[in-house]
Amino acid sequence: MVSAETLGLFVIASVASLFMAWAIGAGSSGSTPFAPAVGANAIGVMRAGLVVGFLGFLGAVLQGANVTEAVGTSLIDGVTITATAAIVGLLTAAILVAVGVFAGYPIATAFTVTGAVVGVGLALGGAPAWSKYTEIATLWVTVPFVGGFAAYATARVLRSDRVPETVAVPLLGALVGAILANVGFTPIGPPGEQASVAAVLGSVIGGGVGSLLVTLVSAALAGGLLRVDLARDETGGQRRFLLALGGLVAFSAGGSQVGLAIGPLVPLLGDGIDLPVIALLAGGGFGLLAGSWTGAPRMIKALAQDYSSLGPRRSIAALIPSFAIAQTAVAFGIPVSFNEIVVSAIVGSGYAAGGSGVSRRKMVYTVLAWVGSLVLALGVGYGAFTVVDTLV
C-alpha cells in the first residue's frame, strides 16, 4: 500500500507537471503551430487558440509516449529522478516559460525542461548522459538550418512564375500525405511502441512493398484532393491547405511537448503509484489544452506579427518543414523546441521574399533567450534542488 508521504509527493509533482503543461500550452505548443496561419489571415487569433488546444490534446494522447519516456529516463545516468527532484525541475522550467509568455518572448520549452531535469539530476549525484545529449544537440543545432532552408526553397518555388500554383501546391500536399501515412501512433502499435498506418496496412498487403504502396496512395489522395479544391477556388484552397497544415503541426506539438511536462513523473510510477502512462498523457494533454485556451493568443499574436509579415504561400512554406521535423523528433523520442522549429521556418520563408518583414533584432533576442534559458534552467535547477535537499 502506498504511503501517505509518497502519495502526497506524487500529487504535488503532478500539480507541478500540470503547471508545466499549462505553460507549454500557453507558449510553444499553443502558439507556434497556427502563428503562420494567423499571420496570413486564414484564421483568427482566438479561434486558433481553441483549435490548437484540442489538436494538441489528441497529439499528446496518441503520440506522446516516446518523448515522455526519453525525458523521464534518458537525460541523466546513474540515478532515478525522485519526487522532490521532479517537483523542483518542473517548477523551475514552468516559471521560466511562464515569464517568457507574459514578457512576449518565446522561451524554448525543450531547452528549459531539459536544462532543469539535467540540473536536478546532477544535483542528485547522477552522471551526464552524453550519448543522449549528442542526439539532442545535433537536432537542436540542425533544426534552424534544415527548417529555414527547406522553408526558403519551398517559398521560392511557390513564388516562381515557372511553376503554376495549381501544380506546386498539390505536389506539396502529396508530400504531406506521404509523411502522414508514416506517422507513428501509440494505439495501433505493439505494447510500448508506435506504428504508422503505412506499416500496419502494409503488413497486411505485403511487408515493405505494401508500406510503400500505402504511402503512394496516401500521397496521391492528398495531392489529388488538393488539386480539385484549388481548381474550384484557388485562394480558398490555399487557405484550407494552410489550416490543415497548422492542424498537423498542432497535433505534432502535442505529441512532442507533453513529454516535457509529464516525463519527470515517469520515474515516480511504481511503489504503489500504479498509473498507466496513458493516464499521464491524458492529464498532460489536458494541461496543454488549458494553456492553449487561456494563454496562447498572446504568443500567437507575437509570432504572427513580430517575426514576419506572412502571406499564404510563405505560411505554407513554413509549416511543411515544421511538420516534418516535428514528426522526426517524435519518432526518435528527442525533446525539441517548437518555437525553434517554427520561428526558423518563418524566417526562412521570409527571406525568400528578400527578408521582408523579418525582424533581425527580435531574432537575435530570441536566440539569446533560447541559449540563456538552457543555461539558466540547468543552473537554477541544480541550485534549487541542492538547497531543498539540504533543508528537507
Residue 357 scores a pLDDT above 60: no
Output the DSSP codes for 23-91: HHHHTHHHHTTTHHHHHTTSS-HHHHHHHHHHHHHHHHHHHTHHHHHHHHHSSEESS---HHHHHHHHH
Residue 272 scores a pLDDT above 70: no
Residue 40 scores a pLDDT above 70: no
**Which residues partner with 184 through β-bridges?**
196
Strands 127-128 and 195-196: unpaired
Residue 306 scores a pLDDT above 60: no
Residue 155: the pLDDT is 87
Residue 53 scores a pLDDT above 60: yes
pLDDT tens for 14-29 read: 888 888 888 788 766 6
Residue 307: the pLDDT is 46
- The pTM assigned to this predicted structure is 0.85
Burial 34-66 (b: 16+ CB within 10 A, else e): bbbbbbbebbebeebbbbbbbbbbbbbbbbbbb
Rounded to whole angstroms, the Cα distance separating 343 from 39 reads: 13
CA-atom Rg of the chain in angstroms: 21
Least confident of 34-38, 109-113, 245-249, 370-374: 34-38
Is 86:76 a contact under the CB 8 Å cutoff? no
Residue 161: the pLDDT is 76
Residue 41 scores a pLDDT above 90: no
Rounded to whole angstroms, the Cα distance separating 82 from 72 reads: 11
Domain locations along the chain: 4-156+250-391
Rounded to whole angstroms, the Cα distance separating 290 from 32 reads: 16
**Which residues partner with 196 through β-bridges?**
184
Residue 30: the pLDDT is 59
In the chain, the largest separation of any two C-alpha atoms, in whole Å, equals 71
Residue 308: the pLDDT is 45
Residue 187 scores a pLDDT above 60: yes
Average pLDDT over residues 120-133: 92
pLDDT tens for 362-383 read: 677 777 877 888 898 999 999 9
Strands 184-185 and 127-128: unpaired
Percent of the chain with pLDDT over 90: 23
Question: Of 374, 317, 381, whose CA–CA distance to 133 is shortest?
Answer: 374
pLDDT, mean over the chain: 83
Q: What cell was used for 11?
A: 500529487
Range from 78-82, 206-210, 274-278 that averages highest in pLDDT:
78-82
Within a 10 A sphere around the Cβ of 175, how many other Cβ atoms?
A: 17
Rounded to whole angstroms, the Cα distance separating 245 from 34 reads: 9
In the three-class reduction of DSSP (H, G, I as helix; E, B as strand; rest coil), residue 294 is classed as helix
pLDDT grade, residue 353 (50/70/90)?
low
Tell me which H or E stretch contains 184: strand 184-185
